[in-house]
């Protein structure tokens, strides 16, 4: 990476991008279906978002405005690193404002601000197979998807209820897409699940190490698995944001001393900062100085 001109726009060569785009198109055509693709070694490790990075690289055009978040935040180290990678290799404009971005690469969150038509949300996916922890063999799980055999998953959810009185999955909560494929939404908290279905943006999922791409085209139905008598419920910490007072955003818990004191703050840093800029102040918040919104 010493000489950035030695690399193609957005790092990958055009042939590789074409291969990835084909996989994306197939994914869009069959929502929720995991399309195998010949994932490349990227200059960051597997597990750091190589799948998402490849999907983003295949989607980017020079006019794009890119936003990268990790845990909802623009300033987490890995988000900084990936954003920098594309600044360096693609020279695209970057932004922290959800509404201004044309492509958003994310790890573990869907932004609070509703997405709009024309935006692309790219998820980094560690394990694309929702059935993997029920059946470790790929040969078996592919067969189960082919046969639409999701009994095992329902048994698992049922066992959760019989043991814990509720479905004990807090993140990475599986959804059924358009009544066909059960899909892993990547490890987003189940709080974010309702935003998967009917979303105006294109949602693309890239799993580099596992060599899979899948997609939710705009306004696709994605229903979180549940039972009639135990309906799905999105959940979050029972607080408001201590900085911006938002009552309805997903919160991170921050330990503030070793005496058990803690505070709750929006995990979506752009959402929180914009609210504070608009004058919403939580109990521990202060109007933000303009400088650190950069």
Q: Does 276 bind other proteins (CB under 8 A)?
A: no
Q: Does 235 bind other proteins (CB under 8 A)?
A: yes
Terminal alpha carbon distance of the chain: 25
Q: Is 32 a catalytic residue?
A: yes
Identify the active-site residue in 72, 206, 244, 285.
Answer: 244
Q: Token pair of 212, please?
A: 């899979």
- State the minimum distance, in angstroms, from the CB of residue 102 to other proteins: 22
Q: Are strands 212-216 and 120-124 parallel, antiparallel or unpaired?
A: unpaired
Q: Does 80 bind other proteins (CB under 8 A)?
A: yes
Cα-based distances in Å from 163 to 131, 154, 160, 231, 294:
20, 14, 5, 17, 47
Residues 6+ apart with CB under 8 A from 144: 131, 135, 150, 152
- State the minimum distance, in angstroms, from the CB of residue 21 to other proteins: 15
- Interface pattern 118-147 for other proteins (x via CB under 8 A): --------x----------xxx--------
Q: Is 266 a catalytic residue?
A: yes
Query: Using CA of residue 144, residue 149, residue 152, residue 154, what is the dihedral sign?
Result: positive
Q: Which of residues 88-117 bind other proteins (CB under 8 A)?
A: 107-109
Number of H helices, E strands in the chain: 6, 12
Identify the active-site residue in 32, 52, 72, 282.
Answer: 32
Q: Is 244 a catalytic residue?
A: yes
- State the minimum distance, in angstroms, from the CB of residue 74 to other proteins: 9
Q: How many residues bind other proteins (CB under 8 A)?
A: 68
* Binding residue (CB under 8 A) for other proteins from 265, 270, 274, 275: 265
Identify the active-site residue in 51, 72, 272, 282.
Answer: 272
Q: Is 272 a catalytic residue?
A: yes
- State the minimum distance, in angstroms, from the CB of residue 279 to other proteins: 17
- Interface pattern 40-79 for other proteins (x via CB under 8 A): xxxx-xxxx-x-------------------xxx--xxxxx
Residues 6+ apart with CB under 8 A from 135: 141, 144, 152
Q: Measure the CA–CA gap between 199 and 117, rounded to whole angstroms.
A: 9
- State the minimum distance, in angstroms, from the CB of residue 236 to other proteins: 7
Nearer to other proteins, 88 or 118 (CB): 88
Q: Measure the CA–CA gap between 38 and 89, rounded to whole angstroms.
A: 21
- Interface pattern 177-206 for other proteins (x via CB under 8 A): ----------xxxxx---------------
Q: Measure the CA–CA gap between 53 and 55, rounded to whole angstroms.
A: 5
- State the minimum distance, in angstroms, from the CB of residue 118 to other proteins: 26
Coil, helix or strand at residue 168: coil
Cα-based distances in Å from 129 to 22, 172, 209, 222:
20, 11, 12, 16
Dihedral (C-alpha) 72, 112, 185, 88: value to the nearest 10 degrees?
A: -50
The residue ranges that bind other proteins (CB under 8 A) are: 7, 11, 13, 36-43, 45-48, 50, 70-72, 75-81, 84, 107-109, 126, 137-139, 164-166, 168, 170-172, 187-191, 209, 211-212, 235-237, 242-243, 250-254, 256, 263, 265, 267, 269, 284-286, 292
Q: Active-site positions?
A: 32, 241, 244, 266, 272
């Amino acid at each position: 990476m010493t000489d950035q001109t030695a690399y193609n726009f957005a790092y990958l060569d055009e042939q590789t991008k074409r291969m990835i785009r084909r996989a994306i198109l197939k994914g869009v055509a069959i929502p929720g279906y995991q399309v195998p693709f010949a994932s490349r070694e990227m200059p960051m490790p597997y597990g750091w978002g190589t799948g998402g990075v490849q999907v983003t690289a295949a989607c980017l055009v020079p006019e794009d405005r890119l936003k990268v978040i990790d845990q909802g935040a623009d300033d987490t180290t890995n988000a900084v690193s990936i954003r920098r990678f594309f600044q360096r290799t693609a020279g695209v404009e970057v932004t922290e404002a959800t509404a201004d971005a044309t492509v958003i690469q994310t790890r573990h969150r869907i932004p609070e601000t509703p997405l709009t038509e024309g935006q692309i949300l790219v998820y980094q996916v560690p394990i694309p197979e929702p059935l993997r922890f029920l059946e470790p063999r790929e040969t078996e799980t592919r067969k189960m998807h082919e046969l639409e055999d999701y009994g095992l998953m329902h048994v698992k959810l049922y066992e959760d209820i019989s043991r814990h009185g509720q479905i004990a999955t807090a993140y990475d909560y599986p959804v059924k897409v358009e009544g066909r494929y059960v899909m892993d939404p990547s490890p987003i908290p189940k709080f974010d699940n309702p935003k998967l279905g009917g979303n105006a943006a294109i949602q693309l999922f890239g799993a580099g190490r596992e060599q899979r791409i899948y997609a939710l085209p705009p306004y696709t139905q994605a229903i979180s698995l549940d039972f009639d008598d135990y309906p799905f419920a999105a959940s979050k910490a029972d607080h408001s944001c201590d900085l911006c007072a938002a009552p309805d955003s997903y919160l991170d818990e921050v330990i503030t001393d070793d005496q058990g004191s803690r505070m709750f703050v929006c995990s979506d840093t752009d959402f929180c900062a914009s609210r504070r800029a608009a004058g919403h102040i939580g109990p521990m918040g202060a109007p933000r100085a303009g400088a650190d919104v950069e």
